[in-house]
Amino acid sequence: MRFWCLIISTIMLIGCERRGEQPNCTETFSPQDYGRFMVNETQGLAQHISGTVWYRCKAGQSFQGKKCLGEPFEMTRIEADSYLQDFSKKSGEQWRLPTKSEFKEIIEKSCDSPALNPNVFPGLTVENYWLNEDSWHGDRFACSIYIYQGSVFCRQRSDASQPILMVRD
């Protein structure tokens, strides 16, 4: 019996996914390496190879030079939706929160902290960002992504204040 317990324990441990420590993304990319993005240096936009166009800074910031300047906004999910409607009206272009699949496309698997290309998204901090998905747990909750490694959580209280990244429709 003891032999079988040892065998089963060994098989279970071998089957566990063990992820080694990843390098920090700010140390991984050379200064002009935009990876899978085409970057517009003057407008602060970056187009992923999938075609999705991202604003390179958090909402509330402006892109100047190679930096995001200004104080980013943190908002509840309802405030984020309202902000994006107003921003779309004023800019004349349709902007929205990214979907889970759009965010997952840009997550870097070879590095983390945050798991995004720092040349494309300069100065991002590791925290939760709102997603365009609704939570299956009801209106009191919404989905967000933690960009340390790209974990999605759909039980985030929708009245919590978080930053947003924006994509253009």
Strands (E), the chain: 37-40, 45-48, 53-55, 62-64, 67-69, 95-96, 128-134, 141-146, 151-157, 167-168
Distance, CA of 13 to CA of 44 (rounded, Å): 46
Q: Is the model more confident about 21 or about 27?
A: 27
CATH number of the structural domain spanning residue 131: 3.10.100
| Structural domain count, the chain | 1
Tokens of 48: 């992923």
| Residue 89 within a domain | yes
pLDDT of residue 15: 43
In-domain check, residue 6: no
Is the pLDDT confidence value at 4 over 70? Answer: no
Q: Is residue 15 assigned to a domain?
A: no
CA distance 88 to 161: 21
Using the structure block, give the residue that is written with the tokens 């921003």: 87
**Closest-CA residue to 53 (of 120, 107, 146, 134):** 120
Examine residue 5 and state whether it is found in any structural domain, yes or no: no
In a domain, 76, yes or no: yes
According to the model, what pLDDT value does residue 138 have?
Answer: 84
User: Does the structure show a pLDDT above 90 at 62?
Assistant: yes
Residue 106's domain comprises 22-168
Average pLDDT value for residue range 95-109: 97
Average model confidence (pLDDT) across the chain: 90
What pTM value is reported for the model?
Answer: 0.85
Mean predicted confidence (pLDDT) in 56-64: 97
Q: Where residue 20 falls among pLDDT bands split at 50, 70, 90?
A: low
What's the mean pLDDT in 46-69?
96
Inside any domain, residue 97: yes
- What pLDDT score was predicted for residue 85? 98
Domain assignment present for 3 = no
- Summarised one tens digit per residue, pLDDT across range 116-145 is 999 999 999 999 999 999 888 888 999 999
pLDDT of residue 21: 84
Summarize the confidence of residues 12-17 as an average pLDDT. 43
Is 13's pLDDT higher than 50?
no
